[in-house]
Amino acid sequence: MAQQDGHVATAGNNAQAIDGDTGRSFQINVDQAGNGVFAPNPGTPDQLVTNIFFCNYMHDFFAMLGFTKEHGNFQTVNSSGPGKGADPVVAPAHPGPVFGTATMLTRADDLAAEMNMGLVAGPKKRHTANDAHVVFHEFAHGVTNRLVGGLRDANGLREDQSRAMGEGWSDYFALTIPSFFQEREHTVIGDWVVDRPDGIRQRPYDDQYPGDFGGIGKTLDGLDYTEIHNVGEIWCAALIETTRRISAKLGSKERGYRITWQAVVDGLKLTPKNPSLLTARGAILRALKDLRGKLFTQTEYPEVRMAAWGSFARYGMGFDAFCPNASFVGCRAGAALPPAGHED
């Protein structure tokens, strides 16, 4: 948190978590030992505002993976070098519902992003700001909108498949970040905020997740793949499966997560505007190849590569999958692995 005299505040160089009514951040008093004393005032959004400040954590998480000022991250002041500043994430906690439940508005590098968090309708009246899944999900939208060709206009995810992946990438980070720190894997998103054990997606993201690339644009077996969040599930399921399989191959959850997160972020940078799922799959495989000798050895590479290919193939994005463009029309599933001698 940002240090000021005698207290810390939920407003710093990269994130400004504020009360949607007053525009003010929450000031937390610091005791003589230098520890923050968290004492939210009852009847105020202090707790919500503090939780939204998870954005600060996300800034550091993605900076570690290479979403830095050169790549258009969210910072008021860039200490040195290229990249434009003046663009923190401004994140108000609104007392009532907001359009879209919770939203992230990303603009070009040097214009602030805006994350709006509101109340979910329902008997329990839970607030999206209090659910880390939602804060992580919304923040990740900012990252993908900037990294996929969006530095100048934050507008690289317009086609249906591209927008769907925006949702899938956001679910992927929102789930795997908590999963990394806990013994049990999180496979359901938004369950707390809507107070439903099955959360806000069609099925849990476990290894039984049923959809695949060939279902895009269709409705079958009670699953609807004509809407972007729903199609995003297929993408998220494939990325989580990749994380699992790489972890299993290397016998290390820590390495599996680290490698997959890195390949996904590096892949975003290699992905052209308005990608299809297959284009983005190719970028991740290329990123993995570039990570040889960095996060894993040359000897480990074939196993890591095939773990990724196997995961994509499991969700219909194998070597022989096809789509004519990035719309939801004409997607054909394929389960083949690449032939011997194929590059990535």
Residue ranges binding Zn ion (CB under 5 A) = 167, 170
Question: Residues 173, 176, 181, 186: is their CA dihedral positive or negative?
Answer: positive
Q: Find the shortest distance in angstroms from Cβ 98 to Zn ion.
A: 13
Q: Find the shortest distance in angstroms from Cβ 9 to Zn ion.
A: 28
Q: Find the shortest distance in angstroms from Cβ 139 to Zn ion.
A: 10
Matching residue, tokens 């830095």: 68
In the bound state with Zn ion, the residue whose beta carbon lies nearer, of 167 and 241, is 167
Q: Find the shortest distance in angstroms from Cβ 228 to Zn ion.
A: 9
Residue among 239, 231, 232 nearest 311 (CA): 239
In the bound state with Zn ion, the residue whose beta carbon lies nearer, of 232 and 256, is 232
Q: Find the shortest distance in angstroms from Cβ 137 to Zn ion.
A: 6
Q: How many CA atoms within 13 Å lie on the side-chain side of 22?
A: 8
Task: Encode burial over 192-231: b for 16+ CB neighbours within 10 A, e otherwise.
Answer: bbbeeeebbbbbbbeeebebbbbbbbeeeeebebeebbbb
How far apart are the C-alpha atoms of 54 and 94, rounded to whole Å? 16
In the bound state with Zn ion, the residue whose beta carbon lies nearer, of 25 and 170, is 170
In the bound state with Zn ion, the residue whose beta carbon lies nearer, of 26 and 169, is 169
Q: Find the shortest distance in angstroms from Cβ 2 to Zn ion.
A: 27
Q: How far, rounded to the nearest angstrom, does the alpha carbon of residue 185 sit from its chain's CA centroid?
A: 16
Q: Find the shortest distance in angstroms from Cβ 145 to Zn ion.
A: 11
**Who contacts 34 (Cβ-Cβ below 8 Å, separation ≥6)?**
none
How far apart are the C-alpha atoms of 336 and 311, rounded to whole Å? 11
Q: How far, rounded to the nearest angstrom, does the alpha carbon of residue 61 sit from its chain's CA centroid?
A: 11
In the bound state with Zn ion, the residue whose beta carbon lies nearer, of 139 and 261, is 139
In the bound state with Zn ion, the residue whose beta carbon lies nearer, of 55 and 246, is 55
Q: 241 phi and psi, to 5 degrees?
A: -65, -40
Cβ neighbours of 271 (radius 10 Å)? 25
In the bound state with Zn ion, the residue whose beta carbon lies nearer, of 157 and 333, is 157
